[in-house]
């Protein structure tokens, strides 16, 4: 690894909240976790790296302990217990290193969302050593399936034709809600759970024009995507597909999809409306917050800013002591992601927003995004504050609305139910998580 490149990238990330992600997907994690000496060496190398380059902790991306993943992945039935031992060793060395420099280091993991993946982990004991768990609640369906299906459904759809047998229970449990509830049932406190949000979509081709393409047979050959076949950045979808494709919304699963019967291409993705439902879910269930895969897919920051506004509700992130940390070292400049607060059980705490990068404690201004004249964008304009009295004023981009403010839009009056600063595509008809019809 090029040290200069790492140092440069670290400086490009917000100065506080950088996590070193140890990510081989799965290939050799099993070998390392199975041997005490290897665990100690691995932990020591992580400590040296984060201290050399100013990171604030370690995130492990061991996605397939025990089973699954690519053919060359190494698995053991003992991976469940060995994973806990690996985390215990890393936590111990992080705490020891932190005591010496007066800093509290973070330890997190990125983990699978399927019922079969949950069963392969000792989540209750893993959580004892972790600050939070990033659930990768996306990729539930894709090009590996025979039929079209949602990439990241919030809930199951009763019409889904997927198999519903052990250990996966795809039809009933391959969705965000069942993933979160599976972790909680396994013994993980809700305040240690971070829901993954997808800033991309997955597409299929050769889809016949029945049920608007949903749950239909699809070609094994994937259509051209943004960077790889069958996968589309949210920005790319807005520019190239939304203008000509028909948008549908699955009210059972609370996610949208696009379909063009003339091309036979069907695309599952997330938008402000589905993010609104997911962010509301995070708040209602008092989860730690949200993370994204991945930031560059939303270069206009539309979905990222929406999540920030809905989950933070104007609250500035605070600091907290990670799990298992010594009470001796004081927290240094470590600003935590959205939701890392000293009182995680309150629904108004701010929320984490990513696996490995963290915003500064205050985000008082928003970037201005260049616009493509032919495409709807998330351009953020200068903000003004809405008046709370008088008749309902027309909804307007750039105005900051508080809970209870009323606006008029397309002949109807709407009441703000979550504070927000209006973006181009956040009109009341499009984002019900922000607005409620009055009359």
Which residue bears the tokens 């203008």? 243
Determine the length of the chain.
439
* Beta-strand pair 132-135/193-198: parallel
Catalytic residue (one of 7, 21, 63, 302)? 63
* Beta-strand pair 255-260/246-250: antiparallel
Laid out side by side, the sheet with 399-401 consists of 384-385, 399-401, 420-421
Q: Which helix (H) or strand (E) holds 183?
A: helix 176-185
- Reading the block at residue 19, the tokens are 């996590």
Q: Where are the alpha helices (DSSP H) in 70-157?
A: 79-101, 115-119, 123-127
Q: Which helix (H) or strand (E) holds 160?
A: none
Contacts 24+ apart (CB under 8 A), 413-422: 413/437, 413/438, 413/439, 414/438, 416/386, 418/309, 418/310, 418/313, 419/309, 419/313, 419/314, 420/306, 420/309, 420/310, 421/309, 421/366, 421/380, 421/383, 422/395, 422/396, 422/397, 422/398
> Does 63 qualify as catalytic in the annotation?
yes
- Reading the block at residue 140, the tokens are 């539930």
Which value, to the nearest 10 degrees, does the dihedral of the CA atoms of residues 413, 419, 424, 428 take?
-30
How crowded is residue 219: how many other Cβ atoms within 10 Å of its Cβ?
13
What distance in Å separates the CA atoms of residue 216 and residue 38, rounded to the nearest whole number?
Answer: 48
> What backbone phi and psi angles, to 5 degrees, belong to 73?
-65, 140
What distance in Å separates the CA atoms of residue 286 and residue 40, rounded to the nearest whole number?
Answer: 35
What distance in Å separates the CA atoms of residue 175 and residue 173, rounded to the nearest whole number?
Answer: 6
How crowded is residue 346: how many other Cβ atoms within 10 Å of its Cβ?
11
Q: Which residues are catalytic?
A: 63
């Amino acid at each position: 690894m090029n040290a200069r490149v790492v140092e440069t990238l670290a400086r490009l990330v917000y100065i506080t909240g950088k996590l070193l992600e140890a990510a081989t997907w799965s290939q050799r994690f099993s070998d390392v976790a199975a041997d005490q000496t290897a665990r100690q060496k691995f932990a020591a190398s992580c400590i040296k790296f984060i201290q050399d380059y100013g990171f604030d902790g370690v995130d492990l991306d061991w996605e397939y302990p025990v089973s699954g993943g690519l053919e060359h992945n190494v698995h053991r039935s003992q991976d469940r217990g060995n994973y806990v031992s690996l985390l215990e060793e890393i936590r111990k060395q992080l705490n020891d290193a932190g005591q010496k420099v007066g800093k509290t280091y973070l330890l997190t993991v990125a983990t699978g969302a399927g019922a079969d993946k949950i069963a392969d982990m000792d989540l209750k004991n893993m959580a004892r050593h972790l600050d939070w768990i990033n659930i990768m609640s996306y990729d539930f369906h894709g090009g590996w399936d025979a039929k079209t299906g949602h990439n990241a459904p919030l809930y199951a759809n009763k019409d889904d034709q997927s198999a519903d047998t052990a250990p996966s229970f795809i039809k009933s449990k391959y969705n965000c809600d069942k993933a979160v509830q599976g972790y909680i049932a396994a013994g993980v406190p809700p305040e240690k759970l971070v829901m993954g949000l997808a800033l991309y979509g997955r597409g299929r081709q050769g889809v016949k024009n029945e049920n608007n393409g949903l749950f239909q047979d699809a070609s094994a050959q994937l259509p051209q995507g943004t960077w790889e076949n069958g996968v589309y950045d949210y920005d790319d979808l807005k520019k190239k597909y939304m203008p000509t494709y028909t948008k549908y919304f699955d009210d059972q699963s609370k996610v949208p999809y696009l379909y063009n019967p003339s091309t036979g291409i069907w695309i599952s993705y997330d938008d402000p409306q589905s993010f609104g439902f997911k962010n509301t879910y995070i708040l209602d269930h008092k989860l730690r917050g949200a993370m994204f895969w991945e930031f560059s897919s939303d270069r206009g920051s539309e979905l990222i800013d929406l999540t920030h506004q809905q989950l933070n509700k104007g609250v500035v992130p605070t600091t907290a002591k990670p799990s298992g940390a010594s009470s001796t070292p004081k927290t240094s400049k470590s600003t935590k992601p959205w939701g890392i607060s000293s009182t995680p059980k309150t629904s108004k705490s701010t929320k984490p927003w990513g696996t490995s990068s963290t915003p500064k404690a205050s985000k008082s201004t928003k970037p201005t995004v260049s616009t493509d004249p032919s495409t709807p964008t998330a351009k953020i304009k200068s903000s003004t504050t809405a008046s709370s009295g008088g008749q309902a004023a027309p909804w307007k981009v750039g105005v900051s609305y508080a809970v209870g403010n009323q606006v008029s839009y397309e002949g109807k009056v709407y009441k703000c139910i979550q504070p927000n600063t209006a973006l181009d595509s956040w009109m009341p008809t499009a984002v019900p998580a922000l607005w409620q019809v009055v009359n």
